[in-house]
Structure 1
Amino acid sequence: MSHCVFTDTPKPASRFRFFPPFSTNPSPAAGNRALFSLLLLVLLLSLAPLAQAQQSAPVHYDPAATIVVGGDRSYPPYEFIDKDGRPAGYNVDLTKAIAEVMGMKVEFRFGSWAEMRAGLQQGKINILQGLSYSDERSRSVDFSPPHAMVHHAIFARRDSKRVRTLEELKGKKVIVFQDGIMHERLKLLGFGKDLVLTPTPAEALRLLASGQYDYAVVAQLPGMYLIRELHLTNLVPVAKAVVSEQYGYGVAKGNKELLTRFNEGLAIVIKTGQYAQIYNRWLGVHEPPRVTREMALKYGAMILVPLLLVLAGTALWNKTLHKRVVERTTELAQEVSERNKALEALRRHQDKLIQADKMASLGTLVSGVAHEINNPNGLLLLDIPILRRVHEDAEEILEARYLQEGDFMLGGVPYSEMREEIPRILEEMQDGAQRIKRIVNDLKDFARRDDAGYMEPIDVEAAAKRAVRLVEPTIRSATNRFEALYAGNLPPVLGNAQRIEQVIVNLVLNACQSLPGRDQGVTLTTSLDSESDSVLIEVRDEGVGIAQEHLPQLVDPFFTTKRETGGTGLGLSVSAGIVKEHGGTLCFASTPGEGTTVTLSLPVTSRRS
């Protein structure tokens, strides 16, 4: 026996100016700052030690004032003066983007690195857009979370002896950029007497190329950039990424207001995708940093743990909602005999309250963690393809060593085992990151409030696929036999995709809850009914079925046969209301002990045009 329910068809612009540098003496320079991971945004907030500011008075932020941004005039590709005499580079574009979204006025002032550092402490510069973090510097500078990671390399002439670590440079004459972060680091390591200081990285590489001294320690990305631009063909990097430094904005100690504004702008630029465009334009074509297996596992855990917490919180909240609905339903049932006329209004009101409460709660949970999940997951999606290309480039070298020397250890595992495992691991990481992205986007779309009156041509099959992804954990726990059969190329339906998706979610959940065991199956099918010119979505289960006397009551508000397990009787009632808004029908056919088939029919667009 079957029963059908038929319904009627019914921001301020920013300003950028460039001030000439403090000194007019030109100095060719090169710089380095290569992106590693935006995950370090959170990490750096806990690294900066609390130290008292130096005697220089901090520059406080005035929202109405123009902000003077300092930069190195010769540090490509991060910041430099181009051939037209204008500021250019990764840092410059990033600062412009932040100023644009925050409605700030900025002026770029470029000079030598020493002048910029001094200008910050003297109050002539409000903020430096590119500054590597160190404990020493943090005594006089407040740092933003890093927007890049700088990897430093050891450069040598092609005929020089190869080295792999900084320790192997002991006793050698090493050229470094004066007052740069590696100058500080090498002095702390006891290299003071062996250091040869130059005013710019470019000068360091020129000295090395001319045959003077032994090695140069220069930021990896600017070093490669300068070798190409200056045609220093006899120089090569012999050890890459020997030291990695966090690189971000810096203000004079105590200028928290300005730093907070830039931090907020940086977060917006990252979320809107402008950051990725700027990175790809200036840095994306260069060699990526090393990523160890331990780091990949660590960052994977940083993504999975918050996601599990979200799922656990959602389950707990749903349980609370079910309890609240049951209590409210019991109260309403006691008033039925006395307020028969008012009952329908109360039910409609309750329906709207429950749905609004559910959507608001789920939306709050999702939005609270979406940023923390999507940002690191976006980096994984960006970096994993780079890692795969790195592995492909290195595979020939590893194979050659394997053939010449026999088996060797790679990451603590014999290479003979890892040669097949590495591509599989990278593939699984890529698939996992894509899956995380789809799940988060589906949850956000499902939880977002929509306008029930807004209708547009929609793809019903796409809505069905999103609904299946949303309830996939429930499906897996309920049955071993779930099948989705999509007809493909179905005509569009005039409606609201999110509300149709909500109906399909309810139908699939009901089907899963009716199964007595995991051996019984659920099938979802889409098709086109040419006679009625309608798109059909059929959900069939092999569950316990529905008693014939209950079929006419299925879409009545608060009617449920599962009240003892937390059922509210609102799912099919809400679904029926949505289907009615779309001019469709819901049909139920069931045989007790054999299963139930629910058919959702929606008219195609041409029928309602």
Structure 2
Amino acid sequence: MTVIRIGNTNVVNGPNGALSAIVHAPESNSTQQMVFAIDSTHHSAKLMPMLNRICFLIIIISFFGGLPLHAEQATPDNAHVIVVGGNSNYPPYQFIGKNGQPDGYIVDLTKAIAGVMGMKIDIRLGDFGGILDELENGRIDILEGLSYSESRAQHYDFSPPHSIIVHAIFARKGTKEVKTLDELRGKKVLVHRGGGMHSYMKEHNYAHDLVLTDSPRETLQQLAVGKCDYAVVALLPGMYIIREENLTNIVPIAKNIIQQRYYCYAVKKGNTELLARFNEGLTILKKTGQYDAIYNKWLGVLEPQRVSWRVIAKYAALVVIPLVLVLMGTVLWSYSLRKQVAQRTESLSKALVELRSNQQQLVQADKMAALGILVSGVAHEINNPTGIILMNMPTLRKILRDAERILDQYREEHGDYSLGGLSYERVRQELPLLLEEMQDGAERIKHTVNDLKNFARKDDEAAKVLLDFNAVVQTAVRLVDVTTRKATNSFTTSYADNLPGIMGNAQRIEQVVVNLIMNACQALPDPGRAIAISTHFDPQANVVVLTVKDEGSGIPPEHLPRLTDPFFTTKRESGGTGLGLSVSASIIKDHGGELTFDSAHGKGTTVKCTFQAAMEGKKL
């Protein structure tokens, strides 16, 4: 359906092609209607040109005098008064006003529809049950308010809804709250007799719990005086009655308890022509804004007031902008604090790492001191028998030399004989060698014990002397001789000639060299891999360089930067503590040197340890 508004005239293209021109004459407060019946089925191609000509004619008539228009043929509605029925006690939708006349939202809506459609109406409000009976008997043509249901749709034809009814549970203040209808089972509930909720609750087996009243107003009045604890009433009528009757002790405690009910115009089944006229009028009201005006007059005051976006923006500006400024200031301040905290945290972290490193070095120093005491005692016990061996060896050699003349003469006289199960000839050849090996072994024991004592001895950093670097490295190599023999079949050393001396502490440098060689041994997967030790002098940098190269498994690239970090180790499961390289790096740093690593994963590692030469070009 199409509605065209031209001044005081509405042009409506209605159902089945019926074209109506509705003209309001202000001076007579009356409405005339011109009806043009057009069969849209057979003349649809001609409809629009005809509509254009009719609109043009109406404009000319309205413009040149605004005279009342009279229909060429009167419609049946002009000759027949339409009786509209409604509920006399269902405010604010329909009720009898203080002046004794029908009043309310739907009453005004019905009057407005009659006005735009040119219908004569008689609105009769009464008891809801009686009104339904009069509709059935034909004394009423149309109901202006009936909630739609599938069961009612079998007996009545309904218009599109002009209202949506939301039902609620009401109770006195302080009554135990309920949220659903199911919670009302077993409790007495006040309900308006014959209303939509009465039908609904009967269909859902609540009939034995219901206390029926004659109107929603009576329902809430009885609830207010304590007849029952709960009542089920449509929300807007309930709020209207509470306000009008000043029932301040009643509040809605649960809303939307059932699916929304649609409130419509309704006629007896088959009276579609009259229903179409009301539908048409309702559409015109919605198009022209009259529907909204009536709705806001009666129902808008009972609903939460809508706040315009302009008002929202205004108050938002007054509240949000200062909050945003405060928030931005807080964010900047927080950022500044976080930055300061991060800087302090970084400084503390570095200090903590350094503290742990120093602590571990102190622990290591204590261990070395304890080891020194232990080694001193053990060395004394070892050196005593070793000294006896070394002292007695020259005497044994002299005895052998003197005894050889006697033993040789005895062989000449009696022929070859055996000593200790060996022929004298063999004893004559091997006994000097055995004595020589015993001499060398005893000296080696003595030397090793002395090296061990020097290694474990606690020396102050200030006790630095001019050192022969090659000699220091050789001492460390002797200390790990047993380990290197087990780890590899190819252990080589190369010591450069004429190395300049370095200033340092021999025991601490030996500790570094031992650590590096032990790490190289542990890196070898099998004894077939080699370890090479070498020293040389770099005149350009004026440094003495120790190189320890192994053919082991190598070091992953991501681990290289952390090798000298305290407690970092890849051998935790085999007992590694992660302190060896950390302590070594610290010792080298104390000597003004540098420790570097070059490794390819799976191809071995080369470690270089540099120390400043004591004096450029000076040799020991």
Q: TM-score range by the shorter chain?
A: 0.3 to 0.5
TM-score normalised per structure 2:
0.42
TM-score normalised per structure 1:
0.43
- More relative contact order in 1 or in 2 (CA 8 Å, sep 6+)? 1
